[in-house]
Amino acid sequence: MHLTHPDASIYVAGHRGLLGRALVKKLRTHGYRNLLLRTREELDLRCQHSVNSFFESERPEFVILAAARVGGILANDRYPADFLGDNLLIQNHVLDAARKNGVKRLLFLGSTCIYPREAEQPMQETALLSGPLEVTNRWYAVAKITGVVQCQALRRQHGSDFVTVMATNLYGPGDNFDLTSSHVLPALMRKLHEAHTSGQKRISVWGSGSPRREFLYSEDMADACVFVLETPEEHLLHVAPDSMLNVGYGNDLSIRELCDLLQNVMGTDCALDFDRSKPDGTPRKLVDVSRLMKLGWKAPTSLQDGIQKTYAWYKSECP
């Protein structure tokens, strides 16, 4: 059942993360005033007992599962057991409790790394499980694939209205700017800013610069999530019979081109040193967004504008 009422109770799991904070802002803008929010300290989603107690006492009507252990290419490689294990625990507990407590619709956040490394571009939802995964993030990918397939299984066996959205690489205000665990866009933004302000004027860019990535502004992703929650089930399943929807910007660029765009928007002029001892990861992962476009949603924020907004936030929060 889709979201219609401003008093519907909506549990946003992971509301302090990059997407979670954008979701809370977007839901409030849309007039939803009954949001259930718990920090990690208040509710450890890796603990099944705590998750069950929370669902039994609060009985959320709608759930957005945006809580996950996430990170960039190096963090995925360094902490494979956490990326696989923590994500499996979180999603198993939440999906099970949501099903048992009659949640009306749940939105599960997948990722475009669930698709095979050599999937045809742009990648369609039907590419799921059609070939081998990229090695640098297969731990995380296996966990997310399990979540997507579990949502499909719960729908099939129990009729649960659980929908999955596959987010491309997100960026925006509140992102992780830590240089060892972050994704590429915030890492390069910070490196350029610090090199520019310190007068050092050179930055290290991991890999060859040739991999291509698609970037989506976090507030656009939040907008897509609310749009999907508000879409009637029959429309949604007509377009997405497997209840999977890719969410992307619609085009991609190489890491070298991303550096040029960042420099342009940020007004920096640094030399780039490509560090080929670091992995490139998947060569390309552009998603096919035609399902969501058919339903009537398209990302409104250009990469240039999104970078501008993110940089303004970065300068105000981390000067």
CB nearest ligand GFB: which residue? 72
205 contributes a contact to ligand GFB by CB under 6 A: yes
Least separation in angstroms between residue 57's CB and ligand GFB is: 33
In 57-67, which positions are buried (b, 16+ CB within 10 angstroms) versus exposed (e)? eeebbbbbbbb
State how far the Cα of 203 lies from the Cα of 196, in Å rounded to an integer: 9
Contact between 207 and ligand GFB per CB under 6 A: yes
Cβ distance to ligand GFB smaller for residue 97 or 221: 221
Binding of residue 140 to ligand GFB (CB under 6 A): yes
Nearest distance from C-beta of residue 147 to ligand GFB, angstroms: 13
**Which of these ranges, 58-66, 146-154, 277-285, 287-295, lies near ligand GFB under the rule CB under 6 A?**
277-285
Q: Find the shortest distance in angstroms from Cβ 83 to ligand GFB.
A: 7
Give the separation between CA 13 and CA 55, rounded to whole angstroms: 12
| Distance of alpha carbon 6 from alpha carbon 22, whole angstroms | 18
Residue 122 preceded by cis peptide, ω within 30: yes
Rounded Cα–Cα distance for residues 177 and 311 (Å):
11
Q: Looking up tokens 């019979």, which residue turns up?
A: 241
Q: Classify strands 253-254 and 212-213 as parallel, antiparallel or unpaired.
A: antiparallel
The 157-196 contact track toward ligand GFB, x by CB under 6 A, reads ------------x------------xxx--xx--------
140 is catalytic: yes
Single out the residue of 279, 287, 292, 314 in contact with ligand GFB (rule: CB under 6 A).
Answer: 279
Residue 97 or 262: which CB sits closer to ligand GFB? 262
CB of 136 to ligand GFB, least distance (A): 6
Under DSSP, is residue 212 helix (H, G, I), strand (E, B) or coil? strand
Query: According to CB under 6 A, which one of 17, 20, 60, 72 is a site residue for ligand GFB?
Result: 72
Q: Which of 11, 140, 249, 311 is catalytic?
A: 140
Instruction: Work out whether 69 is an interface residue with ligand GFB (CB under 6 A).
Output: no
Site size for ligand GFB (CB under 6 A): 24
Q: Does residue 213 belong to the site contacting ligand GFB (CB under 6 A)?
A: yes
- Supply φ then ψ for residue 259, to 5 degrees: -60, -45
Among 16, 256, 278, 309, interactor with ligand GFB by CB under 6 A: 278
Enter the tokens of residue 150.
Answer: 């579990």
Q: How far apart are CA 284 and CA 166, in angstroms?
A: 16
Residue 257: burial class (beta carbons within 10 Å; 0-12, 13-18, 19+)? middle
Q: Does 211 bind ligand GFB (CB under 6 A)?
A: yes
How far is residue 218's CA from residue 271's CA, in Å, rounded to a whole number? 28
Query: What tokens does 189 get?
Result: 């933004």
Q: Are strands 105-111 and 162-167 parallel, antiparallel or unpaired?
A: parallel
Q: List the catalytic residues.
A: 140
Binding site for ligand GFB (CB under 6 A): 72-73, 76, 111, 113, 137, 140, 169, 182-184, 187-188, 205-207, 211, 213, 255, 278-282
